[in-house]
Amino acid sequence: MVDFIQRLINILGASAVMTDTHETKPYLTDWRGIFQGIALAVVFPKTSAEVQMVVRLCIEHAIAIIPQGGNTNLTGSSTPEPIGQQIVLSLKRLNQIRSVDLENQTMTVEAGCILQHIQEKASDSGFLFPLSLAAEGSCTIGGNLATNAGGINVLRYGNMRDLCLGIEAVTATGDILHSLRGLRKDNTGYDLRNLLIGSEGTLGIITAAVIKLYPAPINRCAALIAVNDYSIMVNLLQELQRKAANELCAFEMMSRASLDLTVQHFPQFANPIFKQSSHTLLIELAEFSTESRSSQILEDVLGKALESEQIEDVLVSTSLTQVKQFWGVREHITLAQAKEVANIKFDISFEISRIGDFITHTCDLLCKSYPGIRIINFGHFGDGNLHFNMCPPIGSDKSFLKTNEAEIHRIVYEQIEKYQGSISAEHGIGQLKRNDLEHHRGPTAYKMMKQIKHALDPQNILNPHKVLL
Ligand SMILES: Cc1cc2nc3c(=O)[nH]c(=O)nc-3n(C[C@H](O)[C@H](O)[C@H](O)COP(=O)(O)OP(=O)(O)OC[C@H]3O[C@@H](n4cnc5c(N)ncnc54)[C@H](O)[C@@H]3O)c2cc1C
């Protein structure tokens, strides 16, 4: 292996090859601290050509490669396994914004660009890059593409897949796929870009992408709504979509337990409205022209709902500072959960009409079997995505979840199947859910996925045993 490491150094320079176990530790553990792995080195290429040379060297030595961006995923997908010979290939230093094309409304960015930097660059150019999630200060666009990230604006702008026009990637056989074009129509054979998006680093290493920019809103308006009934949430969503389809950006739901936990750890976000109902909705409308009537629509729709006693209370923002304050609580739920002794997380999705029944029924089953269990349920209600998580009853320690995790898992997965949902809405499969994928997707879909993996990565060199067993 000395020869292999020396050749890595010859390609990248000594400062881009990290082997000291103290230094490599953060790259070998996942964000939640569940998975730990080993690696011969963590390497930091600065160009696509360097990525290609590293891949070719790894092919020659039969060393696996674990691509890594900001390492913020929640499924262990960028953590190497504790056995085998592999390197972590960090894209962090491949982080240039190559160009901004204002006429085509696109930006060409390298994979290691931090999402927040891309948002800021778009904003400086008078545009919006709409992907937004709580990890945006540290996740990278390459990781966003590899996980097909979702976040809070999917309702209006779609997932990362919908925000990407072109891609550049190093393949598992050491070639470079040059497809960095900003075309909005291109039906020329199989869609390789979309095959790589969401493949979690198992089919290619994304080195750059052409992403879409949108007109920036001139104003934002948000509301917190106290509500007790899921069917009313669906009605409100439909009503707002009818009246302000193009302006409705976010429709988020937070359960009382998720808010209580967040306020307990981050008291600065406390708001009396949280105490008035079993759930609070956070919705946002954006205004794109001075003629926009979105705040008026919001007030009309919510005023009527209040009058007819469908909702308990409502608080409409009066300034951008207040909009940000409203979002603070939503963005801190995951961080509040991370402060608990232990938790189980389900990132799941349903057709919107089935969400209410799933939640009611599954919460019932869990609360009967595990009195005191705290169900931290929140998510992107507008696009059917729930973060349906659990913390042990107050006073219980880590062992509660350890003892009961398998059975809780079985109960929740059975209900997901019953209500025809998905076991992963936006976080992917990684290591966390790889044992469940075949059953969930069925034998034909799973076999096709394995065939694709084998065709594109015959040596199983890219992120082996992630997604697929
Ligand atoms: C507080 C918090 C909130 C979050 N909220 C959301 C949310 O709302 N929506 C959402 O979708 N996710 C969310 N996530 C999950 C996470 O932020 C996303 O999955 C993000 O897209 C991962 O980006 P990353 O750069 O950190 O990738 P990493 O975690 O480093 O990697 C993720 C996967 O992508 C692969 N990969 C990384 N870079 C490349 C590349 N250049 N080429 C090929 N493969 C690559 C890795 O091998 C791995 O399989 C959240 C995470 C946290 C911690």
Tokens 């809103």 -> residue: 217
In this predicted structure, which of 126-135, 225-234, 296-305, 408-417 has the lowest mean pLDDT?
296-305
Whether residue 381 is contained in a domain is answered as yes
Last residue of a domain, one of 303, 335, 367: 335
Distance 333 CA to ligand 1 centre (A): 18
Same domain for 129 and 177, yes or no, is yes
Number of domains in the chain: 4
Chain segment 362-386, per-residue pLDDT in tens: 999 999 999 999 999 999 999 999 9
- Give the structural domain span for 411: 340-418
Q: Report how far residue 205's alpha carbon sits from residue 207's, in angstroms, rounded to the nearest whole number.
A: 6
Distance 71 CA to ligand 1 centre (A): 6
Same domain for 329 and 271, yes or no, is yes
Tokens 């409304």 -> residue: 105
Same domain for 137 and 203, yes or no, is yes
Last residue of a domain, one of 304, 335, 366: 335
Whether residue 300 is contained in a domain is answered as yes
- Cβ of 379 closer than 6 Å to ligand 1, yes or no, is no
Closest ligand 1 atom, CA of 207?
Answer: 41
Tokens 């960028």 -> residue: 78
Same domain for 61 and 110, yes or no, is no
**Closest by alpha carbon to 336, among 397, 257, 221?**
257
pLDDT at 294: 82
CATH number at residue 399: 3.30.70.2740
Closest ligand 1 atom, CA of 463?
Answer: 47
pLDDT at 411: 97
Higher-confidence residue of 291 and 108: namely: 108
Distance 129 CA to ligand 1 centre (A): 17
Closest ligand 1 atom, CA of 111?
Answer: 41
Same domain for 82 and 157, yes or no, is no
Whether residue 37 is contained in a domain is answered as yes
pLDDT at 88: 98
- Cβ of 276 closer than 6 Å to ligand 1, yes or no, is no
Same domain for 234 and 257, yes or no, is yes
Tokens of 456: 């594109």
CATH number at residue 19: 3.30.43.10
| pLDDT surpasses 80 at 151 | yes
Whether residue 18 is contained in a domain is answered as yes
Distance 73 CA to ligand 1 centre (A): 4
Distance 143 CA to ligand 1 centre (A): 5
Same domain for 142 and 191, yes or no, is yes
Element (H, E) at 402: helix 398-418
| pLDDT surpasses 80 at 245 | no
Edge-to-edge strands, sheet with 219-227: 313-316, 219-227, 279-287, 248-255, 374-380, 385-391, 347-349
CATH number at residue 192: 3.30.465.10
| pLDDT surpasses 80 at 2 | no
Distance 317 CA to ligand 1 centre (A): 31
Last residue of a domain, one of 195, 215, 235: 215
- Cβ of 37 closer than 6 Å to ligand 1, yes or no, is no
Whether residue 76 is contained in a domain is answered as yes
Distance 147 CA to ligand 1 centre (A): 6
HEC profile of 40-91: CEEECCCCHHHHHHHHHHHHHHCCEEEEECCCCCCCCCCCCCCCCCEEEEEC
Q: What is the mean pLDDT of the chain?
A: 95
Distance 226 CA to ligand 1 centre (A): 32
Whether residue 368 is contained in a domain is answered as yes
Contact 425, 348 (CB under 8 A): yes
pLDDT at 303: 94
- Cβ of 349 closer than 6 Å to ligand 1, yes or no, is no
| Sign of the torsion formed by the C-alpha atoms of 277, 279, 280 and 284 | negative
Distance 218 CA to ligand 1 centre (A): 29
| pLDDT surpasses 80 at 425 | yes
Q: Report how far residue 166's alpha carbon sits from residue 168's, in angstroms, rounded to the nearest whole number.
A: 7
Whether residue 451 is contained in a domain is answered as no
- Per DSSP bridges, beta strands 41-43 and 86-90 are parallel
Whether residue 238 is contained in a domain is answered as yes
- % of the chain beyond a pLDDT of 90: 92
- % of the chain beyond a pLDDT of 70: 100
Same domain for 294 and 251, yes or no, is yes
- Cβ of 150 closer than 6 Å to ligand 1, yes or no, is yes
Same domain for 380 and 272, yes or no, is no
Closest ligand 1 atom, CA of 31?
Answer: 53
Same domain for 118 and 174, yes or no, is yes
Q: Report how far residue 65's alpha carbon sits from residue 171's, in angstroms, rounded to the nearest whole number.
A: 12
- Cβ of 201 closer than 6 Å to ligand 1, yes or no, is yes
- Cβ of 112 closer than 6 Å to ligand 1, yes or no, is no
Distance 149 CA to ligand 1 centre (A): 7
Q: Report how far residue 49's alpha carbon sits from residue 170's, in angstroms, rounded to the nearest whole number.
A: 9
Q: Report how far residue 255's alpha carbon sits from residue 234's, in angstroms, rounded to the nearest whole number.
A: 15
pLDDT band at 295 (very low <50, low <70, confident <90, very high): confident
* Rounded mean pLDDT, 159-179: 98
Same domain for 74 and 120, yes or no, is no
Closest ligand 1 atom, CA of 32?
Answer: 53
CATH number at residue 273: 3.30.70.2190
Distance 76 CA to ligand 1 centre (A): 10
Same domain for 362 and 300, yes or no, is no
Distance 428 CA to ligand 1 centre (A): 9
- Cβ of 67 closer than 6 Å to ligand 1, yes or no, is yes
pLDDT at 281: 98
- Cβ of 139 closer than 6 Å to ligand 1, yes or no, is yes
| 104 to 101, 183, 215: CA distances (angstroms) | 6, 9, 12
In this predicted structure, which of 105-119, 164-178, 331-345, 376-390 has the lowest mean pLDDT?
331-345
The long-range contacts involving 146-149, CB below 8 angstroms and separated by at least 24 positions, are: 146/67, 146/69, 146/196, 146/197, 146/198, 146/199, 146/200, 146/201, 146/206, 147/73, 147/77, 147/198, 147/200, 147/426, 147/427, 147/428, 148/197, 148/198, 148/426, 148/428, 149/426
Residue to probe by mutation, ligand 1, list 136, 139, 426, most atoms within 8 Å of CB:
139
Closest ligand 1 atom, CA of 74?
Answer: 15
pLDDT band at 398 (very low <50, low <70, confident <90, very high): confident
Chain segment 299-348, per-residue pLDDT in tens: 899 999 999 999 999 999 999 999 999 999 999 999 999 898 888 999 99
| pLDDT surpasses 90 at 292 | no
**Amino acid residing at 89:** L
- Cβ of 80 closer than 6 Å to ligand 1, yes or no, is no
